[in-house]
Structure 1
Amino acid sequence: MQHPLKPNHLAKRIDHQKSAASSLPKSLSEKCSELNLLTQEMKALIGRGLPEEILKSLWVVKYEEGQLVLSVQSQTAANHLRYQSNNLINILKEQSLTFSVLKNIDVIVTYPASIDHLNENQSYSNLHSNQSNLTLSKGGSHNKRGLTETTKRTITHTLEHVIKDERLKASLKRLTKPN
């Protein structure tokens, strides 16, 4: 009888890859569990004060050194949480030992991932070499005219006041420069 921890040597390569990806590493699994517990505790504490639409998509994605990062799935929900962040900090600090050292709340918008494009019949190189997937509107008219001045000002403002990642800043600066 084969040892249960050894992979099936007769299996196809794709089966080996699926098997390897079927379980998370222990450290990542523990981190996911920790963030899930923080999310549940936070929802229990502030559940009555926020709309149900926000609570459905609210997740704690980081909590370290008094810095709490929340994720929601809409810009409206993110704006609402940012507006209420001082109130949320006070409520969480008063009602929970877990959040007693909370100093700041950041909110990010994450959109649900779509895995429709991940098809076993489609090769990885073809998927990423096809730049037409990046077209945002029908006909790609934004590519012909370039960015509007309002969009450029918004991006510049975001670069100065919001974005901290240097590589992202450099990429966005290139986007706002005239061709």
Structure 2
Amino acid sequence: MQNPLKPNHLAKRIDHQKSAASSLPKSLSEKCSELNQLTQEMKALLGRGLPEEILKSLWVVKYEEGLLVLSVQSQTAANHLRYQSNNLINILKEQSLTFSVLKNIDVIVTYPASIDHLNENQDYSNLHSNQSNLALSKGGSHDKRGLTETTKRTITHTLEHVIKDERLKASLKRLIKPD
């Protein structure tokens, strides 16, 4: 006799997907709960010491044998956590029994999936490649190139948060302004 929760081969695709997603394997479910609990504990311990934008995207993705692997959604946040890792280790070891054997923190960057990338009906044939930091200007000339929007945002962010030299700031502002 067939399992009543499992749709037969004539069922619609959505019924098969519902059936497959109805429950996670127990070991995977327990691991997700454990990592979620570790994430919440870590956010509670470091809530006053880290910027809110880092805390929003911070997740514990692994904690075994004294190694803690954290995931954030920006390279800037990852660099900040890597720079502060020794201080974070000391704070976590002092304030929590869970992290008492912590020896090392690794940080990875995970970028959120875009809905556009998941759309099955999207026509990829007319999308232009954005692999270069320089894009052709509106005139289409190879001699006159402009910066991509991503590069402009990166430079603007760096101007606001990193660079202290006023002459360098002025030069970079001129670089990102359109002609």
Q: TM-score, normalised on structure 2?
A: 0.63
Shift of 1:119: 3.7
Shift of 1:84: 0.6
What count of residue pairs does the alignment treat as equivalent?
179
CA change 1:161–1:7 in 2 (3 A) is farther
CA change 1:176–1:44 in 2 (3 A) is closer
Shift of 1:102: 0.1
Root-mean-square deviation over aligned CA pairs? 9.7
The structure whose RCO (Cα within 8 Å, separation 6+) is larger is 1
Alignment deviations for residues 54-112 of structure 1 (CA, whole Å, 9 cap, x no partner): 10010000000000000111111111111110010001001111000000000111111
CA change 1:5–1:165 in 2 (3 A) is farther
CA–CA distance in structure 2, aligned partners of residues 169 and 21 of structure 1? 52
Larger Rg: 2
**Could you say which structure has the higher helix fraction?**
1
Unaligned runs of 5+ in 2: none
CA–CA distance in structure 1, aligned partners of residues 69 and 95 of structure 2? 19
Q: Is the 8 A contact 2:89 2:102 kept in 1?
A: yes
CA change 1:83–1:54 in 2 (3 A) is same
Q: TM-score, normalised on structure 1?
A: 0.63
Q: Is the 8 A contact 2:89 2:105 kept in 1?
A: yes
% same residue: 95
Q: Is the 8 A contact 2:66 2:103 kept in 1?
A: yes
